Structure 1
Amino acid sequence: MQVPGIPRNEAERIQVLRELLILDTDPEERFDVITVYCQSRFDCAIALVTLVDSDRQWFKSACGLNVRETPRDISFCGHVILQDEVMVINDTLQDPRFADNPLVLGAPFIRFYAGAPLTLSSGHNVGTLCIIDPKPKRLAEEEVAHLEVLARLVSLELEDHRCPNN
């Protein structure tokens, strides 16, 4: 298993993430409708809005998964925040970075993963919109583009959270 690297701007990225004041908050419909849509649109078992904190990935929205966080060092999303494009793993058992990952060998038995970075207007990648399935699969080019657009929508919602109406 390959542990995710650390972004060059990690201290700044974590500060920006925490300034969103969204970590460990209750679920919100504006994020949940996106993960429910993703689960249906991409025909996958799990869809998540994840925020990658210093030692964990925390799920702002989780459709199809009953945990709120997992350790960062075994996260797929920790790899995604290091890049600016969607990361697609058609079959985790065929990818040496993930084949022996505990999330592949045990629950939720990830075989397919696609994650789009959540990039804020500052340029910081604070998390992902990701889809997961226990069976290998492939995404069409149009589906990858669709996931990117949805991730952009989540990013806009995250930044809008800075000025809550309540």
Structure 2
Amino acid sequence: MERMVNTFGIPIIPYNDKLRVKKLHEYEILDSHSEGSFKHIASLAAHIFKVPIALVSFVDAERVWFKANVGMEGVNEVDRGVSLCSLSILNDDLTIIPDALKEPCLLANPLVAGSFGLRFYAAAPLKTADGYNLGSVCIVDKEPRDFNAADKSMLAHLADSVMKELELWKLKKQHKLAS
């Protein structure tokens, strides 16, 4: 297995990553079709925050896969060592980067330093009831911006909504197997 490239210059693999990835795979969500409810939440995020890009992402062992994608249609996944969503699972709080050009760990990141021009990033982790951060609801802009307490609360609420949808997804999968 090739070693994952890490463009951040800081560790991006949580101590519990093997168990976290195992938990993610239990949902059988990866590589599934984009579902209306997940896409709806990403669309809401883009609209509420007036950003060009909003994603529902899941961080797998070596990639970040997008269950819902507004503004980067046609891109289904990116390498884990490049995606800022890899940073969003490292702690239980929101990840807010008002201006990526002022973050030393992002200066070598191709999404920031390259033609994509990422400047603002905010993400709320998708946390299971037993404490695993599977991915995030994130918003991206190509302009720096502020993110206030009400914004943080709204993004956290959207992440909670994704987790409710994810639990419903899992129940539907289990029900299909049982019938």
TM (normalized to structure 1)?
Answer: 0.95
Structure 1: which 4+ aligned runs deviate by more than 2 Å? Answer: 1-4, 105-108
Give the CA deviation at 1:98: 0.8
How many residues end up aligned between the 2 structures? 166
CA contact (8 A) 1:6 1:82 kept: yes
> Partner of 1:109 in structure 2?
117
> Partner of 1:157 in structure 2?
165
Distance 1:4 1:72, change over 3 A: farther
CA contact (8 A) 1:49 1:127 kept: yes
1:25-66 Cα shifts (integer Å, max 9, x gaps): 000010011111110100111000000000000000000002
> Partner of 1:25 in structure 2?
32
Superposition map of 1:1-166 within 5 A: 1-66=8-73, 67-164=75-172
Counterpart of 1:44 in 2: which secondary structure?
coil
Give the CA deviation at 1:144: 0.6
Percent of aligned pairs sharing the same letter: 38
Bigger radius of gyration among the two: 2
Give the CA deviation at 1:6: 1.0
Superposition CA RMSD, Å: 1.3
Counterpart of 2:116 in 1: which secondary structure?
coil
Counterpart of 1:65 in 2: which secondary structure?
coil
Gaps of 5+ in 2: 1-7
Give the CA deviation at 1:69: 0.5
1:132-153 Cα shifts (integer Å, max 9, x gaps): 0011111111101110111011
Gaps of 5+ in 1: none
TM (normalized to structure 2)?
Answer: 0.89
When structure 1 is superposed on structure 2, of 103-112 and 38-47 the one drifting more is 103-112
